[in-house]
Structure 1
Amino acid sequence: MQLFNDFCNYTLDENGVLNSFQLDYPENYNFGYDVVDKMGELAPNDIAMEWTNPDHLHKTFTFADIKRLSNKAANAFKNQGVKKGDRVIVILKRNYEYWYIVPALHKLGAIVIPATNMLTLDDITYRVDTADIRFAVSTPDGDTAETLVKASKERTILEKVFVVRRDVEGAVNFTDEIEKADDNFERVETLAKEPMLIYFTSGTTGYPKAVMHDHTYTLSHIITAKFWQDVKEKGLHLTVAETGWGKASWGKIYGQWLCGCGVMVYDFDHFSPDKLLRVMEKYKVTSFCAPPTVYRYFIKRGMNNYDLSSLKHITTAGEALNPVVFKKVFEQTGLRLMEGFGQTESVLMIGNLVGSEEKVGALGKPTPLYNTMIVDDSGNELPANEVGEIVVVPQENQHGIFMGYCGDEKLYEKVWRNGVYHTGDTAYKDEDGYYWYVGRIDDLIKTRGFRVGPFEIENVLMKHPAVMECAVIGVPDESRGQAIKATVHLAEGYTESRELKRELKTFVNSRVASYKHIQHLEFIDEMPKTISGKIKRTDIREIDRNKIC
């Protein structure tokens, strides 16, 4: 059963590509009732989720299961004092409880704050202070629960900590509470435009921002799932992201269930390309999304060594896609890797949508949800092939864009200056309207009076077989302003040496303009990354600063 048609009107062009899109929903729309419960009634036996872990444990949840369990969880929360408007931090990794606890909180009208288990005590107390968090839900794994209990003692506003599947002193065993709870839940009236979700997302400077979305955010992901990821009714979609990152909302619950597609969840702590590919093979995953880093490991492993015959569509986002990765994935699978772009503050802004003619290396074209353009520092729209910032101009019935930054109205005003939303990302648009990513404004390297995007140099460097991963940054230089430095993680079978360093610099410098030449190159055993697998250039800069000091 596909419910997305109940909530939107859209048209396709003559090539079958999404041309227009408009949401249509009731004033009291709520994903918990209007999607989860309705799917539980109309398609009770369809698979909502397949879950497994490296120990080969396995659970299957139907939509009837999710409806029943989310009702029980909602009653359990209510019995423990959670009510509409309360803010609840949810740290559940890829634990299967996430998929019925989050809809339960939506049903209550509580505001969900997903977070990673990698947070320290200071990270948690910062979030509690910023977002007035009153309750916490913890994974049974590691010491997350104990850390949350400590936070509750330091911050009395954090009233109660719930832990699934185990007993922790100072916390509530929530699995026990769910088992005792009634499986019928009376609807709590919520409004579509009320706050539903907060994601804390780190920028290049300052503390993490608390990005707030309303209930219509879930509907806006119809474009993400249906028209970019190409999920199918009764299919099985796998997005790699852990639930603490915003990409989980893109690929692990909302749009997929609206389209009647099940989600595949592999609950791992340590990434293994072989094990993940085995999961895709065993469970016959039909569509897949991951950052380019994951595909880089896949192609080194050889995707053609696995039975991926069920896989029909693949997408990527989170960082720019190197054309060499696209080429290798296509050679090994016969599938074209469809890139997309968006932020925690949005859903899919720009993408190579289903049916479109892709240009390798391009982000694609703006989706109908957004009036997107590229502007200069003064806010003037730029002509084709000129680099500027990607901005969003508000349009009538705008959806899929965040409500604000919780606790930081000044920052919200800053990014919405001059009446448009400033993404902080730079790109250029070609004559055909395709967007080509250049980099974060803060990542641009200013050398000898030129502005250089790190991605164009990384693209060349990635073509060398010795390079597994790389990151290019600007470092202080008296004569140039900034010099270009590459940090390289070598592929298996290669060993760092002065000769290889010279070889890599020559390889790049012979293929780019002189002002883009790499002056410094360093090898690293492991790239610092976010939980989504995105390389953290800020950490590489910090490592360099510490060396200088």
Structure 2
Amino acid sequence: MAQDALAAPAPRPADGPGDLHAALHAGFRWRVPPDFSLAEACCGRWARDTPEATAVIFEDEGGSRASYSYGQLQRAANRLSNALARRGVRTGERVALILPQRFETAVAHIAINQLGAVAVPLSMLFGPDALQYRLQDSGAVLAIAEGSVLPALRGLRDSCPALRELIAVGEGAGAGESAWMDALQSEDARFTSAAAHADAAAVLIYTSGTTGPPKGALIPQRALIGNLSGFVASQNWFGFDPFDASRPSGAVFWSPADWAWTGGLMDALLPTLYFGRPIVAFQGRFSPQRAFELMQRHGVTHSFLFPTALKAMMKAVPEPRRHYRLRLEAVMSAGEAVGDAVFRWCQQALGLTVNEMFGQTEINYVVGNCSRLWPARPGSMGRAYPGHRVAVIDEAGKTCPPGAPGDVAVHRRDVHGDPDPVFFLGYWNRPEATAAKFTGDPADSWCRTGDTAVMDADGYLWYQGRSDDLFKSAGYRIGPSEIENCLVKHPAVANAAVVPKPDAERGALVKAFVVLAPGHQGSDALVEALQALVKGQLAPYEYPKEIEFIEALPMTTTGKVQRAVLRQLEAQRAAGA
């Protein structure tokens, strides 16, 4: 099945893995059939060919466990498709999913997709205002929600007139609402889905809102194909032999990433199911110890662990292989810069090179590493994955020379001139925002990410931060990522965020908000030690003039630090002063 993701097997190196990046790009061609559906690719074919193969391994905080096959997944999805059709859900209509990692979430995605409707995954961490905004904006006609979310949804019904019905997963269904089991039990386990065009809308995923109000990115069916070269590469071929695609894989995947956002859905759940492998669904809070226990208990071989999680694991369990029997073969990380401190810890403590990846909701899985086939460089976000043409461009849309900072951008066409299937269809009901995302002729344009980086002579990208996270202090351009990575190297620091503090003389001072690791306390001596650490490893102008210790950093539901919240806090403090 590795051949489904790559148009040609990797060229076998003559002596060791070497650097096959250029050869992979030269030999790679997209194969996008005109009719393609996520439901068929991720479940239907497996339900016919290997119905007893495990699809989802479920576990929750209370210790409940269950295992579900691809056959069970398809039958449940068929019943739900029939139930949704009976409730009037039609092609193109939006169905909201407010669910954790569990079997029913996978069922819902397959069912909605084969019905021709559009799934709108929403995080269970959203408060009423966040839910209301997305339900109103998407015009969702039905919501499938975990029981604990129902009280908040009921309070929003009057303000969301398009929302006709609620289906409750678990307990809690009230009057006028349907219980999941009741809705499915009366339905036929057979369903005939119409062929879906590769360009048809499949998922409406809202951006994390780090740079303004969240926008709904409409993702087509074909985008999963566009994700696959990056997924396979970042997971070191996902248990397959890159030089012999016929060799079987014993891969088991798990990630704490919420399935309601791109990182959990498009980087974990759907690609794993696409390859017919089992994915662990854990319903509960993340903790470093629990993460290692899960990976040991279920024999997890491949994972996506965002930098925040890796930092916590590094601080809480410095030597995991002394305490746990791990089968890890590959770890991908994305969302923030990994940094060389975490990079080295993964090599030493986990025995593997973490493959950093970069992408966005709109254009996911476009840059990264594959330590098995080309060398990773500590601190770099990697190089363009096969099938994606990536550059650093300036404000005029021209390619920047090596070493010059600019906006990371992805071209609509790959190096062979073929359309790249990874692109989103556009922002929901926001044509102006969609147009602003691109530079150049619509059919031959660059898509700007809004992330600043430099590209070296070998094509490696070095992340500097969101374009709006960069600032100047005394005329020097400051990128927070490098400073934050340096601070995290200190054993007392669990996490850090760097923002500008308004200053009349310098324009801005470098300020760091620091979360302490367990067992450490803030002090003037620690502030001086952290400042000295940065001074000794970075430029003198980059050290934080002020350090504030806080219990937790503001984070998006996707695990990204909300520096904008901290910048606003500093601006308000300055205004008050």
Tell me the TM-score range normalised by the shorter chain. over 0.9
SS of the residue 1:426 aligns to:
strand
Superposed displacement of residue 514, structure 1: 2.7
Superposed displacement of residue 427, structure 1: 0.7
Superposed displacement of residue 546, structure 1: 4.0
SS of the residue 2:468 aligns to:
helix
User: Could you tell me how far apart the structure 2 residues matched to 1:236 and 1:76 are?
Assistant: 31
2:503 to 477, 487, 504: 477
Question: Which digits, 9 at most, give the CA deviation of each residue in 1:233-252, with x for residues without a partner?
Answer: 34211122112211112333
Q: Provide the alpha-carbon RMSD of the alignment.
A: 1.8
In the comparison of the two structures, how many residue pairs are matched?
544
- The answer as to whether partners of 2:534 and 2:542 remain within 8 angstroms in 1 is no
Query: Is residue 2:49 matched to residue 1:36?
Result: no
User: Within 5 A, what are the aligned runs for 1:304-453?
Assistant: 304-353=321-370, 354-395=372-413, 396-418=418-440, 419-453=445-479
SS of the residue 1:61 aligns to:
strand
SS of the residue 1:420 aligns to:
strand
User: Within 5 A, what are the aligned runs for 1:50-449?
Assistant: 50-140=57-147, 142=148, 144-166=149-171, 167-229=173-235, 230-232=237-239, 233-268=249-284, 270-300=285-315, 301-302=317-318, 303-353=320-370, 354-395=372-413, 396-418=418-440, 419-449=445-475
- The answer as to whether partners of 1:200 and 1:209 remain within 8 angstroms in 2 is yes
User: Could you tell me how far apart the structure 2 residues matched to 1:187 and 1:7 are?
Assistant: 24
What residue in structure 2 maps to residue 5 of structure 1? 3
Unmatched segments (≥5 aa) in structure 2: 240-248
Superposed displacement of residue 8, structure 1: 5.3
- The answer as to whether partners of 1:339 and 1:352 remain within 8 angstroms in 2 is yes
- The answer as to whether partners of 2:230 and 2:366 remain within 8 angstroms in 1 is no
Superposed displacement of residue 370, structure 1: 1.9
Q: Which amino acid aligns with 2:567?
A: R
The TM-score, its normalising length taken from structure 2, stands at 0.90
User: Could you tell me how far apart the structure 2 residues matched to 1:206 and 1:21 are?
Assistant: 37
Superposed displacement of residue 7, structure 1: 6.8
The TM-score, its normalising length taken from structure 1, stands at 0.95
Superposed displacement of residue 521, structure 1: 0.9
Percent of aligned pairs sharing the same letter: 26
- The answer as to whether partners of 1:226 and 1:259 remain within 8 angstroms in 2 is no
What residue in structure 1 maps to residue 246 of structure 2? none
User: Could you tell me how far apart the structure 2 residues matched to 1:252 and 1:514 are?
Assistant: 41
- The answer as to whether partners of 1:222 and 1:259 remain within 8 angstroms in 2 is no
| Residues 129/319 of structure 1: CA separation in 2 closer, same or farther (3 Å cut) | same
- The answer as to whether partners of 2:36 and 2:197 remain within 8 angstroms in 1 is yes
Question: Which digits, 9 at most, give the CA deviation of each residue in 1:127-157, with x for residues without a partner?
Answer: 23322221111012x2x11222222222211
Question: Which digits, 9 at most, give the CA deviation of each residue in 1:312-346, with x for residues without a partner?
Answer: 11111111012111112221121111111111112
User: Could you tell me how far apart the structure 2 residues matched to 1:203 and 1:55 are?
Assistant: 33
SS of the residue 1:299 aligns to:
helix
- The answer as to whether partners of 1:219 and 1:255 remain within 8 angstroms in 2 is no
| Residues 8/304 of structure 1: CA separation in 2 closer, same or farther (3 Å cut) | closer
- The answer as to whether partners of 2:216 and 2:428 remain within 8 angstroms in 1 is yes
User: Could you tell me how far apart the structure 2 residues matched to 1:21 and 1:218 are?
Assistant: 17
Question: Which digits, 9 at most, give the CA deviation of each residue in 1:428-449, with x for residues without a partner?
Answer: 1112211111110000021222
Superposed displacement of residue 378, structure 1: 2.5
User: Could you tell me how far apart the structure 2 residues matched to 1:228 and 1:309 are?
Assistant: 19
Q: Which amino acid aligns with 1:171?
A: E
- The answer as to whether partners of 1:291 and 1:532 remain within 8 angstroms in 2 is no
User: Could you tell me how far apart the structure 2 residues matched to 1:131 and 1:170 are?
Assistant: 22
Q: Which amino acid aligns with 1:524?
A: I
| Residues 382/25 of structure 1: CA separation in 2 closer, same or farther (3 Å cut) | closer
